[in-house]
A and B are shown apart, each in its own frame.
Chain A
Amino acid sequence: MPDTHVTAQSELAFQYAYARLLTDSSFREVVLSGAPLEERWQIEPEVAERLRGLDPERTSLFAELLLGNRLGSLREALPNSAFLLGSRLQEVVYAFNDSSPPADHRKYPEARAFAHYLLDRLEQDSLGPPYLHDVLLYELSSMQLRLEYDEPFWLEGAIASASEFVAALKSGRPVYLHRHPYQAVLSFSYDVERICEKTASSRTPTDVNPKPSTILLHVQAGGVLQQEAINTATAAFLLAANGSDSFNRIVDHLGELFGQRGRWARLRLRGRVRNLCLELLQRGIITFTFVPATTMP
């Protein structure tokens, strides 16, 4: 009677090598060639023997199909970036496959890992048009927001009422502003919206010139992703509204940032920030509490 624990261990070792053979082209080539295996491959002779019993042609065909599936899945998750990579997509995915064996069976963690890999590659190498970086960042952020948001949206006890906000400011009670947890403020060098309009219908954008812009992406209840162009002041406000600073401290911070230092300038700024808060509260983009986030349970 075989020892079941030993059997399980040796079978798992075989399965690991088998999975590696199917996903790692260098390993596959070495094993199926029948050449002596160096220690660095960390494979037991009996496991290698079993793997060499596989039909090499069919195994390689299957491995190619796996790689094709991985490519298809990444293309589906990041369609605009994939379109801009064009004929280089395959080469980049193959290189990604060599450097990052598929560790997660879920499609989106895979796509996220690929996007980060591609962002790193773009730092060193121009793989596509100059606006590819912006498009990739936009797609990565959109994907993350769509797939990672959960309910409830807000901290327990957070208030979204504009009238309560006004009353609190009047009373002098400190209020702490919290931006929507599922949003992103992104700055781009190109007009990403226009570029993606083209690429989404498989058209190559023409006459693309640098055009700095800042976009707010946010998920509404029900999972609908919204986006809008915002100015730098709104972007700075949203980045500061992280629940740890009070309204007054945010006004001071923005005053310093935008050079609004005099008493009247600061008062005008306070009025503008107050109005911005009212608008964002009404649109469900921020809430507020009477205690900072750091002290909340």
Chain B
Amino acid sequence: MNEATPQLGKAGSRRRFPSDLPFLGVGLGFRQEIKEDLLRYSNRIDFLEVMTEHYIDMPPHKRAEVQELAEVVPLVLHGVELSIGTFGSVDQSHLQKMRQVADWARAYWVSDHLCLTRVPGLAIGNLTPVPFSEASSANIIANARYAASSFDCPFLLENISYYFQPLPREMSEAEFISRVVEGADCYLLLDLTNVQNNAVNMNYDPYVFLDSVPLERVVQIHLAGGYYLSSVLLDTHSHPVPSDVFDLLRYVAPRMPNLRGILIERDQNFPPFGELLDELDQVRDVVRNHWGPYHADLAVQTPKWMVPYAGYTHA
């Protein structure tokens, strides 16, 4: 391993490390609305991200769906309801169900969000910011450590889009994120669109933010497009990835040695499928042109998972 790359986790733990995994490439979120096209063009999609909650407390045919998908394309699991920011211990039952879905999906990694989505008896219904405070970070570190120990694969937390900040604000968002992922010894799913949205909405410099988070812990990147409502840039996953987000991708390009996948999220306002495939190629171009040292072997037509993984070599 390169000297610049920190040793993540402890050798011998049952958790696998990003360095154990291949670079999956550039993928898309699995959505029922585009299922047919996703399967038809699976040779042009390196991996799929499935939503954890779509397979929890669901009838057996949903389990069969995710198992069948795992036969066709590598899967990673992405959740929205772990609510790791809720004070107190993490929801054991939900975690157990996540674990089950991860097994069905043979997930390369599992992710959820660095936020609050519910408190006992009340479901907020969306990713809600927590205070960037000592108390909040200590709680999330404990919860994330516990959650990460539940999986046999890396556990990632994603930075969210937010439009306001609850009190107290004892540190910056970048400090908060760094403290959590380092304290919990887990990994980061860096949503570059959320970085851009927050930079616009909360008035900060996205490049300074990116310089301040532990990029060596980033295992996956999310990209998406939203729109403005009342001068607020919303994270709606409804539009193409904007050019300023591509700029951020180029900027962080050479600095993520543990990156294993980049994913475009599209949840609504689906364009003709060819446009999504073109967008994937655009991302591949960035990776190919800017990330040579780490990911020169990026698979495009032949997903890497089709051949035995021969080991990962850092430049």
Q: A interface vs B, CB < 8 Å?
A: 2, 4, 7-8, 11-12, 15-16, 18-20, 22-23, 50-51, 53-55, 58-59, 61-62, 65-66, 69-70, 101-106, 146-151, 222-223
A-B contact pairs, 30 of them (CB 8 A): A8-B88, A8-B139, A11-B136, A12-B87, A15-B86, A15-B119, A16-B119, A18-B116, A18-B119, A18-B128, A18-B166, A19-B116, A19-B124, A22-B128, A50-B166, A50-B168, A51-B166, A54-B167, A58-B232, A62-B128, A66-B125, A102-B123, A104-B123, A105-B81, A105-B117, A147-B59, A148-B59, A149-B59, A150-B59, A223-B62
Q: List the B residue with the shortest CB-CB distance to A22.
A: B124
Task: Judge if B251 is at the interface, Cβ distance under 8 Å.
Answer: no
Q: How many A-B residue pairs have CB under 8 A?
A: 103
| Among all A-B residue pairs, the 8 with the closest Cβ atoms | A223-B61, A105-B123, A53-B167, A58-B164, A12-B87, A55-B164, A11-B87, A58-B163
Quick check: A106 and B57 within 8 Å, CB to CB? yes
Q: List the B residue with the shortest CB-CB distance to A20.
A: B122
Contact (A223, B124) CB under 8 Å given A19-B118, A19-B119: no
Q: List the B residue with the shortest CB-CB distance to A9.
A: B87
- A15 is contacted by which of B57, B87, B229 (Cβ under 8 Å)? B87
Interface of chain B residues 133 through 170 with chain A (CB within 8 A)? 135-136, 138-139, 163-168
Contacts of B120 on A, CB cut-off 8 Å? 16
Contacts of B175 on A, CB cut-off 8 Å? none
Contacts of A55 on B, CB cut-off 8 Å? 163-165
Task: Judge if B11 is at the interface, Cβ distance under 8 Å.
Answer: no
Q: List the A residue with the shortest CB-CB distance to B56.
A: A106
Quick check: A103 and B123 within 8 Å, CB to CB? yes
Min CB distance B173 to A, Å, is 15
Quick check: A54 and B124 within 8 Å, CB to CB? no
Task: Judge if B126 is at the interface, Cβ distance under 8 Å.
Answer: yes
Q: List the A residue with the shortest CB-CB distance to B130.
A: A15
Q: List the B residue with the shortest CB-CB distance to A147.
A: B59
Quick check: A223 and B166 within 8 Å, CB to CB? no
- B135 is contacted by which of A7, A18, A150 (Cβ under 8 Å)? A7
Q: List the A residue with the shortest CB-CB distance to B86.
A: A15
Quick check: A23 and B232 within 8 Å, CB to CB? no
Contacts of A18 on B, CB cut-off 8 Å? 116, 119, 128, 166
Interface of chain B residues 56 through 90 with chain A (CB within 8 A)? 56-62, 64, 81, 86-88
Instruction: State the CA gap A54–B162 with chains docked (Å).
Output: 12
Quick check: B124 and A102 within 8 Å, CB to CB? yes
Contacts of A146 on B, CB cut-off 8 Å? 59
Task: Judge if B230 is at the interface, Cβ distance under 8 Å.
Answer: yes
Task: Judge if B121 is at the interface, Cβ distance under 8 Å.
Answer: yes
Q: B interface vs A, CB < 8 Å?
A: 53, 56-62, 64, 81, 86-88, 116-126, 128, 135-136, 138-139, 163-168, 229-230, 232, 234
Quick check: A69 and B122 within 8 Å, CB to CB? no
Min CB distance B237 to A, Å, is 13
Contacts of A101 on B, CB cut-off 8 Å? 122
Instruction: State the CA gap A186–B24 with chains docked (Å).
Output: 49
Contacts of A105 on B, CB cut-off 8 Å? 53, 81, 117-118, 123, 125
Min CB distance A294 to B, Å, is 27
Contacts of A62 on B, CB cut-off 8 Å? 126, 128, 163-164
Contacts of B234 on A, CB cut-off 8 Å? 65
Instruction: State the CA gap A90–B59 with chains docked (Å).
Output: 30
Contact (A69, B119) CB under 8 Å given A12-B88, A62-B164, A151-B60: no
Quick check: B232 and A61 within 8 Å, CB to CB? yes
Min CB distance B229 to A, Å, is 7
Min CB distance A2 to B, Å, is 8
Contacts of A8 on B, CB cut-off 8 Å? 87-88, 139
Instruction: State the CA gap A58–B164 with chains docked (Å).
Output: 6
- B126 is contacted by which of A7, A12, A69, A223 (Cβ under 8 Å)? A69
Instruction: State the CA gap A1–B120 with chains docked (Å).
Output: 27
- B125 is contacted by which of A2, A4, A23, A58 (Cβ under 8 Å)? A23
Instruction: State the CA gap A12–B116 with chains docked (Å).
Output: 11
* Interface contacts beyond A8-B87, A65-B234, A150-B59: sample of 14 additional A-B pairs, CB < 8 Å, sorted by A: A7-B135, A12-B88, A16-B121, A23-B122, A23-B124, A53-B166, A53-B167, A61-B232, A65-B126, A149-B59, A150-B60, A151-B60, A222-B61, A222-B64
